[in-house]
Amino acid sequence: MEVSPGIFLLEVPIPNNSLGHLNAYLIEGKDGWLMIDTGWFTAESFSVLQTKLKEIGLSVTDVVTIIITHVHPDHFGLAGKIKQLSPRAELLMHSWESDMLESRYVKFSDLSDKISAMLHKHGVPSQDRNVLGSASMPALEYVTITFPDRILYGGEIISTGIFDLEIIWTPGHSPGHICLYEPQNKLLFSGDHILPHITPNISYHVQSGDNPLGDYLYSLHKLENLSVSQVLPAHEQIFIGLNERIKQITEHHDNRKTEILNVIGTKPHNAWEIASQLTWSVPGRTWEQFPPYQQRSAVMETISHMEYLRWGGKVQRIINNDGTISYQLIRT
Ligand SMILES: [Zn+2]
């Protein structure tokens, strides 16, 4: 689908995932095309990508620049494959994302041990810990590992010779997440930072930094004064009304905050206890019936809220005698 002359949206399926597809964007350049995000590495995703390129008269070898909004498998997975087939293609990503590649996709056992230890501290029962610690491992098979040719920090203008794209650092969903802004058509390529319906998952993680939700809300409000005619997200569909959507997401987090403060009540709780009492949008399933991956991301999301509340002076963190962490309301 042509978004505007020289800018195309390619829907790449991501099988076995509730998001259904990833939106890769292709932007015309003087000496080849720039691609934002790729889809993950499965035969089906790659063959659809090739077919869609063909429909607009291109092939993988026409891609000379790949920019990854963040290194989650659905965005980054096919980058290695494209680079194998199009050797002149340069891969660009934010410094924070590049730093995580080895621990996520090469020497990953160390990271899953650290995640298990972190989950333990936050009250995850021991029988669930190892399962939950390695719950994102299946995603590894969806990635062909490759490393960036150029590192981004935010603020760069990447020019294709036809379009200029400004790199905007938007940490939160991932510490090195970036959005891209195209000023001629006022387009914002928003990655997973802002989606039209789904609220992106903001998880506390051993690599997230100490206040990922604070980072996220900061980078959400950073975009408020940008003149944007259309938002081009990495999932779901293109939409208009950026500020309205920013407002809705902010409200969602405010409501969550209220819900959490009610759950904590007067006694200290750990994140596992809090998470199990919150409402989650998994229809027809109780907390006990959640698959490990969902329990894990629910706990990590809860911790990100707790740390946000802690830095905001609403709760305090208690380190118990056994080393586990609880949170308690600060009475004002
Ligand atoms: Zn995604």
Along the 332 residues of the chain, how does pLDDT read in single tens digits?
899 999 999 999 987 777 889 999 999 999 999 999 999 988 899 999 999 999 999 999 999 999 999 999 999 999 999 999 999 999 999 999 999 998 888 887 888 888 889 999 999 887 766 666 565 555 677 888 899 999 999 999 999 999 999 999 999 999 999 999 999 999 999 999 999 999 999 999 999 999 999 999 999 999 999 999 999 999 999 999 999 999 999 999 999 999 999 999 889 999 999 999 998 877 778 888 888 778 888 999 999 999 999 999 999 999 999 999 999 999 87
Would you say 200 and 210 are in contact if contact means Cβ atoms under 8 Å apart? no
> Could you please report the per-residue DSSP string of 124-160?
--HHHHHHHHTTTGGGGGG------SEEE-SS-EEE-
CA dist list (Å): 215 to 17, 28, 64, 82, 113 = 27, 32, 32, 32, 25
CA of 306 to the centre of ligand 1 (A): 24
CA dist list (Å): 236 to 16, 20, 47, 114, 326 = 16, 8, 20, 33, 37
CA of 219 to the centre of ligand 1 (A): 17
CA of 31 to the centre of ligand 1 (A): 28
CA of 76 to the centre of ligand 1 (A): 9
Cα torsion 167, 171, 175, 177: sign: negative
| CB within 8 Å of 82: residues ≥ 6 apart | 35, 38, 60, 63, 66, 89
CA of 174 to the centre of ligand 1 (A): 10
CA of 115 to the centre of ligand 1 (A): 21
Q: What is the pLDDT of residue 190?
A: 98
CA of 267 to the centre of ligand 1 (A): 37
CA of 331 to the centre of ligand 1 (A): 39
CA of 72 to the centre of ligand 1 (A): 7
First-residue to last-residue Cα distance in the chain: 55
Looking at residue 269, what DSSP letter applies? B
103: enclosing H helix or E strand: helix 95-105
CA of 330 to the centre of ligand 1 (A): 36
CA dist list (Å): 61 to 22, 40, 64, 165, 173 = 20, 18, 7, 21, 31
Alpha carbons 170 and 216: distance in angstroms, whole number: 7
Looking at residue 265, what DSSP letter applies? T
Alpha carbons 178 and 68: distance in angstroms, whole number: 8
CA of 143 to the centre of ligand 1 (A): 13
Alpha carbons 219 and 70: distance in angstroms, whole number: 15
Would you say 12 and 45 are in contact if contact means Cβ atoms under 8 Å apart? yes
Q: What is the pLDDT of residue 282?
A: 73
Give the CATH architecture of domain 2-102+139-248: 4-Layer Sandwich (3.60)
CA of 70 to the centre of ligand 1 (A): 8
Token reading at 144: 């062909």
Sheet bearing 7-13, strands edge to edge: 2-4, 7-13, 21-27, 33-36, 63-67, 90-94, 150-152
Q: What is the pLDDT of residue 135?
A: 56
Domain boundaries, the chain: 2-102+139-248
CA of 307 to the centre of ligand 1 (A): 24
CA of 75 to the centre of ligand 1 (A): 6
Alpha carbons 134 and 109: distance in angstroms, whole number: 8
Give the three-class secondary structure for 293. helix
Would you say 124 and 292 are in contact if contact means Cβ atoms under 8 Å apart? no
CA of 314 to the centre of ligand 1 (A): 31
CA of 101 to the centre of ligand 1 (A): 16
CA dist list (Å): 235 to 26, 64, 120, 134, 164 = 15, 23, 33, 25, 23
CA of 110 to the centre of ligand 1 (A): 24
CA of 80 to the centre of ligand 1 (A): 17
